[in-house]
Amino acid sequence: MDPNFWHGRKVFLTGHTGFKGSWLSLLLSDWGAEVHGYALAAVEESLFRHGAIEDVMASSEIADIRHAEALTAALRRSEADVVFHMAAQPLVRLSYRDPVDTYSTNVMGTVHLLEACRRVEHVKAVLVVTSDKCYENREWEWGYRENEAMGGHDPYSNSKGCAELVTAAYRDSFLRGAHINVGSGRAGNVIGGGDYSEDRLVPDLIRAVAVGESAQIRNPSAIRPWQHVLEPLSGYVMLAERLAASDGAAFAEGWNFGPSSSGDRNVGDVTEALYRHWGAGAWKRDEAAQPHEAHYLKLDSSKARLRLGWRPRWDFEDTIARTTEWYKARTEGRNMRDVTRHQITSYLAAPGI
C-alpha cells in the first residue's frame, strides 16, 4: 500500500457506517484522503459511533443505495475518482427472514452504484466488495479460486454471487469502454473490534461474556477462513491503487483475500481462543433447528499474492488477540478511535506471513 497515493485523493465509500467501512474510513482519512461516505445510519453500538469516525471524514451522507437518484447525486458531489462499494445486507440468517430486502440491497444496490459510476465522468476506479460466500459451495477441502462458479444456497450468499455477476456484466458492457476499471474483492470471515452485528460469532461471544451467560453456538464444527478486518482492507486498498493506475485494466477482475492456513478454523476453535484471551466465558451448543449454512469454506488467495504482492500479516492467534484487545478496551472506556489507530499502526508494521 502507498499512503502517498491517497493523500488529497477524493474517495467515495458506500457502507462507511458499517464494520469494515468504518475501519477503511479511518485508515484512508488518516492518510490524507477526502473520504465521502454514503450509507444507512450507524447503529448505536458500532465502531462508527464509538470511534467518532464521522469527525475525520470529508462528508457522511445518510441515505439508501436503493435510491438511485440520490446515490448518483452524492457520487457527483464527491468528485471522487476512486469508489469503494461496501454497502450491503451482510447477514446470512437475516437473509432467510427478509430475502427481498437482501436481494434489493445487495443486487439492485450494486446495479445502482455501477450505473451511477458510468454516469459520473470523474470516476476512474471502482472496487465492489462481495464475500467468500459468492461461490457455489461444494464443501471442497481446498480453497475456491476466482474462476470458480458463482452460486449460494441461502439468499445472502446467492445475492453476493449475483452481485459478482452484475459487476462483471457492467464491466464488460459499459465501464471498460468508458475507461473505468472495475474489480471485486472477496474476503473470508472477517472479525475484529467494532463489529456488533446480530447473529455473528464474535459479537455474540462478547455479548454473552459481558453479562455472564453461556454463548449459544449453532455449529461448532463449521470451518471458515477467519481473518482480521485489516487483512482484506489492505487487499482492497492495494487493488484500488492498481485499478486507478495507467495499466489498471489488467487488474479489473475478481480477487480473493483470504487468511493464511492458520486461519482456517472451526467455530469451536474461535470460541475457545477468544475466551482464553478474554480470561472468562463459556458456551454450549444451540440444539434448536437451524437454517442451512455451509459446513466448510476456504479461499485460495494465490492470485493476490502473486500479482499484487499482498500477504496476510496476522495469524490466527494475533487476530484473536487483537480482536479481544479492542473489545476489552471498549469495556474500559478508552478512546476507541485511538485504540483502532494503534491497531492499524501495529498491523502495518507487521511482516507478511
Quick: pLDDT tens for 109-128: 999 999 999 999 999 999 99
What does the pLDDT read at residue 290? 66
Residue 66: closest CA among 93, 42, 35, 100: 100
Which one-letter amino acid corresponds to residue 238? M
Cell of 253: 477482475
Question: What pairing do the DSSP bridges indicate for beta strands 10-14 and 283-285?
Answer: unpaired
- Of the listed ranges 203-207, 286-290, 317-321, the one predicted with least confidence: 286-290
* Cβ-contact 222, 286 below 8 angstroms: no
* AA letter at 283: W
- Checking if the pLDDT of 250 tops 80, the result is yes
Residues 326-345: b if buried by 16+ CB within 10 A, e if exposed: bbbbbeeeeebbebbbbbbe
Residue 39's H or E segment, with its range, is strand 34-39
pLDDT value of position 141:
81
Please say whether the beta carbons of 214 and 280 come within 8 A.
Answer: no
Determine the Cα–Cα distance for residues 192 and 210; give it in Å rounded to an integer: 17
CB 271 within 8 Å of CB 201: yes
| Torsion angles phi and psi, residue 242, rounded to 5 | -70, -40
Half-sphere exposure of 92 (CA within 13 A, CB side): 17
> What is the reported pTM?
0.96
Digit-coded pLDDT (tens) for 3-58: 999 999 999 999 999 999 999 999 999 999 999 999 999 999 999 999 999 999 99
Query: What residues pair up with 228 in beta bridges, in sequence order?
Result: 191
Q: Lowest-pLDDT range, 95-99, 135-139, 182-186, 236-240?
A: 135-139
Contacts of 232 (CB under 8 A, 6+ apart): 20, 129, 185, 187, 188, 190, 257
pLDDT surpasses 80 at 295: no
pLDDT bucket at 198, cuts 50 / 70 / 90:
confident
Q: H/E element holding 4?
A: helix 3-6
CA distance 45 to 335: 15
pLDDT of residue 77: 98
- Tally of CA atoms within 13 A in the half-sphere of 146 that contains its CB: 19
> 218 pLDDT exceeds 90?
no
Binned at pLDDT 50, 70 and 90, residue 349 comes out as: very high
Q: Of 26, 14, 28, 15, which Cα lies nearest the Cα of 52? A: 26
Q: What is the pLDDT, as a whole number, of residue 292?
A: 67
Question: 103: left (phi > 0), else alpha (psi -120 to 50), else beta?
Answer: alpha
Of the pLDDT bands very low, low, confident and very high (cuts 50, 70, 90), residue 257 is very high
Over range 95-109, report the average pLDDT.
Answer: 97
Residue 247 CB neighbours (<10 A): 9
**Does residue 5 contact residue 78 with C-beta atoms inside 8 Å?**
no
Mean predicted lDDT score pLDDT of the chain:
95
Match 440520490 to its residue by C-alpha cell: 70
The pLDDT tens digits for 325-336 are 999 999 999 999
Q: Of all residues in the chain, what percent carry a pLDDT higher than 90?
A: 88
Grid cell listed for 316? 490466527
Q: Which of 293, 138, 250 is nearest to 150 (CA)?
A: 138
Q: Could you give the dihedral angle defined by the CA atoms of residues 35, 83, 112 and 56, in that order, rounded to the nearest 10 degrees?
A: -10
